[in-house]
A = this chain, B = another copy of it.
Amino acid sequence: MMADQPPQPLLDSPSGDFASGQNFWHMEYMEPGLIQGSKITRVIFDGQSAYQATQIIDTTAFGRTLVLDGKVQSSEVDEWVYHEALVQPVMLAHAAPKRVFIAGGGEGATAREVLRHKGVTECVMVDLDEEVVELCKEHLPNHHQGAFDDPRLTVLFADAIAYLRDNPEPFDVLIIDVSDPLEGGPAYLLYTQEFYAMAASRLAPGGIIVTQSGPCGPTNVTEVFSAINKTMGAALGETSPYRVYIPSFGTMWGFIAAGLPDSPSVAGATSAQIDERVATRLSAPLKYYDGVAHQGMVSLPKYLRAALDAERRIITDATPLYAV
């Protein structure tokens, strides 16, 4: 049963304050026949970078929001769910992460979560799109919270695959925070068996890689999530799939971690261990993640485990998802 909501006008009063005069909506397809319409209260930026259409908007439901190529990337009201979920399970499962690599992560919030770890000595973030990163620096202060000023952070504007290929120095944690692996998108090569094999060679002993892995609700778990899990498993062995709910994405969102044969299991971390490490390693408290939340994230419902078990697709450079 649905909660009764007080009725909401589509358009605010024209005689009221500023927000009243805005009749703009961000209308985004979540899947065929399903639109999420979000009322815009202010357009902060609308333009085109060298790589993608870029908007920064304030919305009634989600606050300050980054939109790339017409799709919400992260919003003020729930980016902390996404970024804690992406970063903290692997960082806290790792024995002592010092060097961390981020592919993508333009908003600076992924770096923020990494740099919250006092033990981190170096974080290298490689994002393709300098213009978007500059816009995020200026307009998303609640996302990055000053992370770009941390001397431990190096931001490079380059291709993440090329960077890893050309720089053999190993990392303790690799974090892949780029668009989903649909053919034609800029980022599918970061989801292939070949990439995971190369990435493994850039992990220091005990190292772990984690990747955002797309939607994983009852209606969309096989879109990309199950295939990424199968592919990581083929390249790296045991995986730790987990998920959280992200309101502005309109669905459950999946993440998958995996490591070298001797690396610690992310899914297998105990609540006690997590809470102890949160208490000693971090310079600021978390809002979503702790030992209890961890069990909620990794304890998957039956249908989701079944979908993972049934998956047979392995993504390769030559056979991306959705190739015809």
Name which of A92-100, A113-121, A155-163, A215-223 contacts chain B: A215-223
Per-residue interface assignment for chain A, residues 35 to 51, with 1 indicating a CB less than 8 Å from any chain B CB and 0 otherwise? 11111111100101000
Q: Determine if A235 is an interface residue (Cβ-Cβ < 8 Å).
A: no
B73 touching A1 by the CB < 8 A rule? Answer: yes
Total residues of chain A contacting the partner, CB 8 A: 104
Task: Tell me the minimal C-beta distance from A44 to chain B in angstroms.
Answer: 8
Q: A1-B180, A40-B24, A43-B46 are in contact. Are A12 and B70 (CB under 8 A)?
A: yes
CA distance A67 to B290 in the complex (A): 38
A60 contacts B35, CB within 8 Å? no
Q: Which residues of B contact A35 (CB under 8 A)?
A: 10, 25, 35-38
Chain B residues within 8 Å of A67, by CB: 23
Contact with B along A222-253 (1 / 0, CB 8 A): 01100000000000000000001101011110
Q: Are A15 and B81 in contact (CB under 8 A)?
A: no
Residue of B nearest to A182 (CB): B4
Question: Cβ of B3 and Cβ of A7 under 8 Å apart?
Answer: no
A299 — which chain B residues lie within 8 A by C-beta? 292-297, 299
Q: Is the CB of B73 within 8 A of A2?
A: yes
- In the complex, are the beta carbons of B21 and A23 less than 8 A apart? no
Task: Report B-chain residues with C-beta under 8 Å of the C-beta of A322.
Answer: 6
Q: How far is the CA of A36 from the CA of B43 in the complex (A)?
A: 20
